[in-house]
Chains A and B, each alone.
Chain A
Amino acid sequence: MVIERTAAELGRLIGSGEVSAEEVTRAHLDRMTEVEPKVHAFLHVATERALEAARAVDARRAAGEQLGPLAGVPIAVKDVITTRGMPTTCASKILEGWVPPYDATVVERLHDAGLVVLGKTNMDEFAMGSSTEYSAYGPTNNPWDLGRIPGGSGGGSAAAVAAYESALGIGTDTGGSIRQPGAVTGTVGAKPTYGGTSRYGLVAFSSSLDTPGPVARTVEDAALLHAVIAGHDPRDSTSIPAPVPDVVGAARLGATGDLTGVRLGLVREFSGEGAEPGVTAAVRDAVEALTKLGAEVVEVSCPHFPYALPAYYLIAPSECSSNLARFDGVRYGLRVGDDGTRSLEEVMSLTREAGFGAEVKRRIILGTYALSAGYYDAYYGQAQKVRTLITRDFTAAFEQADVLVSPTTPFVAFPFGSRTSDPYQMYLADLYTIPSNLYGGPAISVPCGLSEGLPVGFQVMAPTLGDDRMYRVAAALESAIPPLTPPAL
C-alpha cells in the first residue's frame, strides 16, 4: 500500500514517475477520511491545496524537471507553525480562526522542496504539555491504543505519521515535544541543534529553547526532512550561520550496521531512576544490540542533570509569560468583553481569561512569579546558572563519549486523565529530554521495542552541531531491531 511506504521510497517512486504525487496525496487523504474519526491528529485538513501542490509537482516532473528526494511527499505540520492562508491556532481558543499572512521559514522550505502540506496537526495548547490533553480542541488518540495519549506537545504530528495519515511531520521541541510523542507512538522524532532550524514563523513559547524538527517513521526519512528544513535563516537572529551536518549520509552510514569505534555514554544519573521497568529493560536491550554492532559503552557522570527538570520549569514558564503577552486581543485572535463600557485592561484580562486554557494560565502565572522582584535571583536567575552547569556536564561527557544514550521518556503511553490533576506528574514525562534543550545540542528518539505492548523510545543525544552522530547511531539501532507496526485501526 502506498501509505505504508517510507518518504524516501515515495520520493523515488514519484521522481521516476511510477506513481504520481497526486495519487500519493489522495491515498493519504483517503486514509484520513477512514481513521481521523478515531485518531483526531489534525485540526485542519487542506484537501484542495494539497491536491493542487501535488499536481504542481507532477507538472514539474512532466516538464522534465529533476525533482528533489522528497518532492510530492505528504507532510503534516504542527499547528504552532504559521502557514500563509491556512489556519494556525496553536490549539488555543485565543487564535481560533486566525489565518497567518506569512509562511514560517520551515514551511517555505517544505514548499521549495516540493513537499505537499496535508494540513495542521493537533498539539497541547501553545506546545505546553506532554499528552495533547491540553489542546482546546480535544485530544489526539494514540494509534497503538486509542485510550492512551499520543505524547505531547506534538502528539498530532506523531500520531498522523504512526497512523499512516502522513508520511512525514513537522514538530517543535522545547522540552521534548518532538521526541516524547515519537517515543510513545513508535515513530522517529528529532530535535536538531538549537539554531540549526529557523524559528521564524514558529509561534514562540520559550524562545531560548524552541526548535523545529522532523517527525517520521524511519531514521533516513527524518534525516531527509532535517536536511530540507535546516540551515541558516537571516530572519531568525539565533539561527546558526554554519553548514548543516550531513545527516542523510550519517543515517545511511548507520544503516549499514557498523558502529565500530563509536562510544556510547550511559548517564549515571539517569540509570533506571524514575523509569518504568519495561522501559529500562527495552533500553538496556538496545544498548546491548548497539554493542554487537561494534559500539563501546562508557559510563559518564552528569551531576547536574537531576536539576534540569526544575530549571526548565522555571526558564520555560518565565519566557512563556513574556512571549504570550502578545495575545492581548488587539492585533489578532479573540477579543472578549469589548462592549464600550470596559477599559482596555479589562478587555485584555477577559480576553486572556477566556482564550487560554488552564495549563497555559498556570505557566504564565508561574513565570510571572519566577521573574518578579524578590524571587528573580532564587528562581529564574538560579535556573540560568544551573543551565550553565548542565552545559558543562555535557561538554565533559562528550570528551569521554561520542553520544549519550537514555530512555526518551520514563513511561510508555499513559491512559487519558491519569496525569492531568497533578501537573507536576505530567512534567516528569520530560525528565530525560530536557537536558538537551537547556544545552542546545541535538537529540533523537528512535523506537527500540515494546513494553506492555506499547512502544518504547531510545534517545541519542549529541554535541551541538553534531546532529549527524545521532542519526548514525539511531539508524544503526533501527537496522538491528525488528520494526514496530501499530495494530490495525
Chain B
Amino acid sequence: MAAISREEVAHLAHLARLAVTDEELDTFAGQLDVILQAVARIGEVAAADIPPTSHSVPLTNVLREDVMVACLPRDEALAGAPDAQDGRFRVPRILDEEA
C-alpha cells in the first residue's frame, strides 16, 4: 500500500503554499512514497522511553544584554523587497473591500 496518496500530497502542498501542477503531483506522490517507505524504518527502533533531542548544544535561554544596538536602516531593509511603498512592504490585498 502506498504510504502517501496523490490527494494527501495535494493537501500538503496547499498547506505549504505551493501551487503545484498536476504533473508535479504525479511525480511527487510516487517519489515521496518511496522516501516515506524508506524512512518509516525509524519506527523499528524501540524508543518509547527515550527523551527527544531537538538540538545538540545544551544551551537554554540564551539572552543578550538589554542594550540598544543599531538596527538595519529602513531603506536597506526595503531595498530587496519585491515591492515597497511609503517606506513599507507593499503586499497584495488581504481583506475584501466589503469586509
Residue numbers of A with Cβ under 8 A of B are 98-102, 194-195, 208, 234, 237-238, 240, 304, 307, 309-311, 313-314, 321, 325, 328-335, 338, 340, 342-350, 352-353, 356, 358, 361-362, 364-366, 368-369, 372, 378-379, 381-389, 391, 422-424, 427, 438-440, 464
Contact = CB atoms under 8 A, between A and B. Distances in A.
A365 B42 contact: no
Given A331-B80, A361-B18, 19 more contacts: A101-B77, A330-B89, A332-B81, A338-B82, A338-B83, A340-B92, A349-B19, A352-B17, A353-B19, A353-B21, A368-B12, A379-B42, A382-B42, A385-B50, A385-B52, A388-B50, A388-B52, A388-B53, A389-B45
Nearest to B38: A424
A361 B52 contact: no
B83 A387 contact: no
B62 to A, nearest CB: 4
A369 B17 contact: no
Interface in B1-37: 4, 8-9, 12-21, 24, 27-28, 31-32, 34-36
B97 interface: no
A307 B41 contact: yes
Nearest to B40: A310
Contact of A348 (B17, B44, B53): B17
A310 B38 contact: yes
20 contacts: A101-B76, A195-B59, A234-B64, A307-B41, A310-B42, A321-B16, A330-B82, A330-B89, A340-B92, A361-B13, A372-B15, A382-B42, A383-B42, A384-B53, A388-B47, A388-B53, A389-B50, A422-B34, A423-B34, A464-B56
B84 to A, nearest CB: 10
B89 A365 contact: no
Minimum-distance CB pairs A-B, first 7: A440-B56, A384-B52, A335-B82, A385-B47, A349-B19, A310-B39, A353-B19
B72 interface: yes
Interface residues of B, number: 54
A333 B81 CA distance: 7
Contacts of B41: 307, 310
A343 B42 contact: no
Contacts of A332: 80-82
B38 A99 contact: no
Contacts of B91: 330, 344
Q: Chain A contact residues: over half helix, strand or loop, or mixed? A: helix
A42 B96 CA distance: 46
A271 B42 CA distance: 21
Contacts of B32: 362, 365-366, 369
Nearest to B83: A335
Contacts, number: 176
Contacts of B38: 310, 313, 424
Contacts of A309: 39
A83 to B, nearest CB: 13
B54 A384 contact: yes
A307 B2 CA distance: 21
A424 B35 contact: yes
A353 B18 contact: yes
A353 B20 CA distance: 6
Contacts of A364: 16, 18
Contacts of B12: 365, 368-369, 372
Contacts of A346: 19, 92
A356 B80 contact: no
A345 B18 contact: no
Nearest to B65: A234
Q: Which of B4, B35, B59, B94 has the most CB of A within 10 A?
A: B35
Contact of B56 (A99, A304, A347, A439): A439
B92 A356 contact: no
Nearest to B8: A369
Contacts of A344: 91-94
A326 to B, nearest CB: 12
Contacts of B45: 304, 307, 382, 385-386, 389
A329 to B, nearest CB: 6
Nearest to B72: A101
Nearest to A313: B39
B80 A194 contact: no
Contact of A208 (B31, B54, B77): B54
A365 B13 contact: yes
B68 interface: no
Contacts of B89: 330-331
Nearest to B59: A238
Q: Which of B8, B42, B44 has the most CB of A within 10 A?
A: B42
Contacts of A102: 72
Contact of B35 (A99, A352, A366): A366
A7 to B, nearest CB: 29
Q: Which of B20, B40, B91 has the most CB of A within 10 A?
A: B91
A435 to B, nearest CB: 12
Contacts of B79: 99, 101
Contacts of A382: 42-43, 45, 47
